[in-house]
Structure 1
Amino acid sequence: MRLHRARTAFDCHNLLGEGCNWNALDQNLWWTDIEGKCVFRWDDNGKVAAVRQLPSRAAFAFPRARGGFVLGFPKSIVITDPTFTDFLQVAEIEPHLAQTRVNDAAIDPYGGIVLGTYNEQSREPVGGVYRIAPNGDVVTLFSGVAAANGLAFSPDGRIMYFTDTTEGTIRRFALAPQFGGLAELGPLAGPNIAPGSPDGATVDIEGGYWSARLRGGCVVRIDGNGHLTDRVDIPSMAPTCVALGGEDLRTLFITSRRTRQSTDELLRFPESGNLFRVEVGQAGGPPFSCRV
């Protein structure tokens, strides 16, 4: 197994950094601080070019092919302009469940967004996973979810990955053309494949699945046969999300959080909440374009 060590790329001390994604259009990394109600942009020269305050907590900020962004607010999906000034709701998510909020998400191969919810009050699996089609239609993919995470797609668009952090198994689904349906395949990996619990994820051009391991202090790469090939240690016990980007798409970016950590943990890992980076051997796949 190849071993790597990530370092701080930006000292941002996010309360809950999440949703990092590499935008091929502007060659920037975008991510949010959910609890800080902010969105960040980091360019390939290592400069944080934009920090915008938001009116609500946002789990992700995906650049749109037509300009502006799609944001995942706790109970809604909204479109905003490039300055994050005007907001238009395009979908409502679980309005009947006061205890859940929008959590992890990924742009799918057909321009939609697949997202899952998180139960903020208990581990009861009352949430679900949904697809927002480019025209704004909402389709329920499945339910019985407590903490949706690990959503990602293979480079050829044929496989969708998902995990419920409270359970820990990384699941695989065969994706029908034009997102015509899902068929569950065997799991990629069980909950004990690496330290901690699976959080955000991305897939490289070779089909390797990079999984942030919350409370495990690392990110691991799992190949298509379910074997560990790489481990990236970070100076925090709480990595939350990952993205491959940079000029050659071989830079692994990692967000993290400071919330829900003890005083002792923060003293041991003062860089918690920062954005981390490390060069890896596998490149990211071509980013899918958001057409919502």
Structure 2
Amino acid sequence: MTAPETVPVSVLCMERCHLGEGPSYDAGSDTAWWFDILERRLFEAHLETGRITIHDLPVMASALARIDAGRQMLAAEDGLYLREIASGKLSRVAELVGKDGPIRSNDARVHHSGTFWVSTMGRAAAAGAGAIHAFRDGKLSLLFSGLTIPNAICFSPDGATGYFADTRENALYRVVLDPATGLPVEAPAILHKREAAGGLDGAVTDAQGLIWCAIWGGGCVDVYSPRGERLRSIAMPARQPSCPVFVGPRFDRLLVTSAHENMNADARAADPDHGRTFLAEVGAIGRAEPSLRWGGS
């Protein structure tokens, strides 16, 4: 496997995240959002001005979906929460419960139909305790179970294909969807099995349908075709990149979160940008994140 290519990368946020995750972008307000799961923090970055606000949360949350200009849906350790952007007020609207001990939310992404896919996992990453759920029209349903660290949730531009990974197994899956609902119509099949160092983590698709996946422990973002071919690998300044999203008015920059979870002092010293959040000029174009269907919206 060839070495990752180098592209221009800048630090968007110097604040280190213990477990940075779940970046999303609201094009209407030119605002990027991401989480530090373990420290219960939500980051808000207005890209044009560079202003960054950090919101403390009462729960561990990992991802959000835009509903409209004033509301978001947060995926958290015990459920989904409606969040009022202006006040930060949270109201739980659905419960997430594990069968084999405490869980937390992990990865998530909105299908263009407005259906919100949310993954859960055991607090200690217990084997088989992970699952992926769909939230649609106010109801939460189980899609897939028996996973360990469900990640890389993303969708093809036409909405007919969904992708997800189990980081522990280092397998990227493909599943055929009903484009009108974002729900599966067939069983998932393995699209790509990573054999190299590092784990398949969060992912996003670009306007052409390519899959951009952060490689936890690999210090890079890899790009896969819808057929599972690895097309590119782009170096990141941190060893544990966790999730990408395309940002900016033209969706031509890649925001990538990272983490220092489970890194000792020596590992952190050897990785000086650990836990920071980056902007990369990757020479590709993404697309707007869909809004979640809520209350007829």
Is 1:143 aligned to 2:145, yes or no? yes
Alpha-carbon displacement from aligned partner over 1:247-272 (angstroms, at most 9, x marks no partner): 21110110001121121110011211
Map of 1:1-292 to 2, 5 A cutoff?
Answer: 3-5=5-7, 6-45=9-48, 47-65=50-68, 67-94=70-97, 96-133=99-136, 135-179=137-181, 180-184=183-187, 186-192=189-195, 194-292=196-294
- Conserved? CA contact 1:39–1:61, under 8 Å: no
- Conserved? CA contact 1:106–1:113, under 8 Å: yes
Shift of 1:206: 0.8
The alpha-carbon distance between structure 1 residues 49 and 267, as it changes in their structure 2 partners (threshold 3 A), is closer
Shift of 1:97: 4.1
TM-score of the aligned structures, taking structure 2 as reference length: 0.92
User: Quick one: which amino acid aligns to residue 181 of structure 1?
Assistant: P
Report the 3-state secondary structure (helix = DSSP H, G, I; strand = E; otherwise coil) of the residue aligned with 2:113. coil
Q: How far apart, in 2, do the equivalents of 1:143 and 1:222 lie? A: 24
Unaligned runs of at least 5 residues, structure 2: none
User: Quick one: which amino acid aligns to residue 111 of structure 1?
Assistant: G
Unaligned runs of at least 5 residues, structure 1: none
- Conserved? CA contact 2:34–2:42, under 8 Å: yes
Shift of 1:122: 4.3
Report the 3-state secondary structure (helix = DSSP H, G, I; strand = E; otherwise coil) of the residue aligned with 2:234. strand
Q: Which moved more, 1:104-113 or 1:118-127?
A: 118-127
User: Quick one: which amino acid aligns to residue 13 of structure 1?
Assistant: R
User: Quick one: which amino acid aligns to residue 100 of structure 1?
Assistant: I
Q: Which moved more, 1:88-97 or 1:231-240?
A: 88-97
Q: Which moved more, 1:66-75 or 1:144-153?
A: 66-75
User: Quick one: which amino acid aligns to residue 77 of structure 1?
Assistant: L
% identical aligned pairs? 26
- Conserved? CA contact 2:65–2:291, under 8 Å: no
User: Quick one: which amino acid aligns to residue 235 of structure 1?
Assistant: P
Q: How far apart, in 1, do the equivalents of 2:126 and 2:216 lie? A: 16
Q: How far apart, in 2, do the equivalents of 1:247 and 1:236 lie? A: 26
Shift of 1:162: 0.5
When the two structures are aligned, how many residues end up with a matched partner? Answer: 290
Shift of 1:16: 0.9
User: Quick one: which amino acid aligns to residue 215 of structure 2?
Assistant: R
- Conserved? CA contact 1:20–1:30, under 8 Å: yes
Shift of 1:175: 0.5
Shift of 1:236: 1.3
Q: How far apart, in 1, do the equivalents of 2:215 and 2:171 lie? A: 12
Q: How far apart, in 2, do the equivalents of 1:268 and 1:78 lie? A: 38
Shift of 1:67: 2.3
Q: How far apart, in 2, do the equivalents of 1:131 and 1:122 lie? A: 21
Alpha-carbon displacement from aligned partner over 1:34-92 (angstroms, at most 9, x marks no partner): 11211111222261342211111111132222622111110110101113532211110
Q: How far apart, in 1, do the equivalents of 2:133 and 2:65 lie? A: 16
Alpha-carbon displacement from aligned partner over 1:165-216 (angstroms, at most 9, x marks no partner): 1101100011014325331354321122x53001100000111100100011
- Conserved? CA contact 1:7–1:234, under 8 Å: no
Q: How far apart, in 1, do the equivalents of 2:55 and 2:65 lie? A: 14
Q: How far apart, in 2, do the equivalents of 1:254 and 1:84 lie? A: 27
Q: How far apart, in 2, do the equivalents of 1:40 and 1:63 lie? A: 15
Q: How far apart, in 2, do the equivalents of 1:258 and 1:16 lie? A: 6
- Conserved? CA contact 1:155–1:286, under 8 Å: no
User: Quick one: which amino acid aligns to residue 124 of structure 2?
Assistant: Q
Q: How far apart, in 2, do the equivalents of 1:51 and 1:43 lie? A: 12
Q: How far apart, in 2, do the equivalents of 1:266 and 1:148 lie? A: 26
RMSD: 1.8
User: Quick one: which amino acid aligns to residue 78 of structure 1?
Assistant: Y
Q: How far apart, in 1, do the equivalents of 2:256 and 2:244 lie? A: 5
Q: How far apart, in 1, do the equivalents of 2:33 and 2:237 lie? A: 21
- Conserved? CA contact 1:18–1:59, under 8 Å: yes
